Copies of this chain bind each other. A is one copy, B any other.
Amino acid sequence: MLYEINEKALKLESEGKKVIKLNIGDPDLETPPEIVEAAYDAMKRGKTKYSSAFGEKRLREKLASIHQVYADNVIMTPGSKFGIFSVMYLLLKDGGNVVIPTPYWTAYALTAKTLGAETRLVKTELDSNWQMDLETLESAIDKDTRMIILNNPNNPTSNVIDPKVLDGIVRIADDKGITILSDEVYADISFVKTKSILEYGGDHILVTGFSKTFTMTGWRLGYVIANTGLVEKLAKLNQITISNVPVFIQDAALTALELGNEIKEKIRQEYRERAKLASNVLSKSKLEFSEPSAPFYIFPRRRGLDSEKFALNLLDNGVAVAPGTAFGDYKEHFRISLTAPRDDLTTALNKICEAVE
């Protein structure tokens, strides 16, 4: 339903209709011009050839130094999503199940489904501030469990996992010899400190990317940090799928990292303001929600809502949001992406408030 809403929104736009698109995590902000210039410069220097399936050496080294790992632990992928697909493909294609807390990002479950892997959901609730119950997690795991996927901060709740809860999750995974895939794509611009999976030992896997941190969604650049054995396997998969990420895109990313904090701080600040704005507007309605600890989302609940009907009706009214059903068993929720300029955002939030009366 998530992707259907998006294709429908794009279609309405191509027909000339105004749609405020709060349905996907694609910022309205532009990619910083320095990054565009770096890509152009690289193209002109002939960085338009095949290259290593692992990614460019300098970029991997820079990322390794940031994450305090070795360059051999880093592999570039066309978006963090491709990193997630690839890791899931390698760990699940021969069977087994995957444990995913909900609400989850839609792609995890769709990927498990296409791979024929059983998905075991661990539900978290607004009423307990989205914290995972460790006993429930433990009982979801069995001998066929191959991995646990964490999304920290979480899409769609923008909630950060409490460090003590995370300690508990890792302990359970380590006890049972299960790999954690931690998708931390929002961590770098989170409003609060987010504990990374890399702070624990073991063979757990980090996946993240440049899309959110540097407003580079459409560039498709992410990376995986894992043990060298898995990185080798991921490179072999790159070799038979995407070959390599365009080198001029990787060069642009290196510039993004060099500019680093300045860009990030600006982006984080903007989303913090929008989160405040949205919380203020929505708190006057009948919606219940937790305040975001990270970009880009709010995941409100309205008792009795049929979120799919709601999203389709709202789209006809010029606002695209994602129905809660796209994230698991959350029919009464919907997800708002705070990815529009503040005036559009205000217009859309007011329309949402009216629609839930």
**Partner-B contacts on A (CB < 8 A):** 3, 7, 10, 14, 24, 26, 30-31, 36, 39-40, 43-44, 46-53, 57, 78-79, 81-82, 85, 93-94, 107, 110-111, 114-116, 215-220, 236-237, 239-249
Contact yes or no, B48 A218, CB < 8 A: yes
Report if A218-B47 is in contact (Cβ < 8 Å); known contacts: A78-B78, A239-B110. yes
Q: Which residues from B are CB-within-8-Å of A249?
A: 246
Among B3, B82, B243, contact of A241 (Cβ-Cβ < 8 Å) = B82
Report if A31-B10 is in contact (Cβ < 8 Å); known contacts: A49-B217, A110-B240. no
Cα–Cα distance between A236 and B109 once the two chains are bound (Å): 13
Given contacts A24-B50, A93-B116, A246-B246, 16 further A-B contacts (CB under 8 A): A10-B51, A10-B52, A31-B46, A31-B48, A36-B43, A36-B48, A39-B43, A47-B218, A48-B216, A49-B218, A79-B243, A81-B240, A93-B114, A93-B115, A114-B240, A220-B244
Contact yes or no, B242 A242, CB < 8 A: yes
Contact yes or no, A242 B3, CB < 8 A: no
Question: 6 nearest interchain CB pairs?
Answer: A49-B218, A26-B50, A40-B40, A31-B48, A48-B218, A36-B43
Q: Which residues from B are CB-within-8-Å of A44?
A: 36
Contact yes or no, A242 B31, CB < 8 A: no
Q: Which residues from B are CB-within-8-Å of A116?
A: 93-94
Whole-angstrom distance between the Cβ of A286 and the nearest chain B Cβ? 31
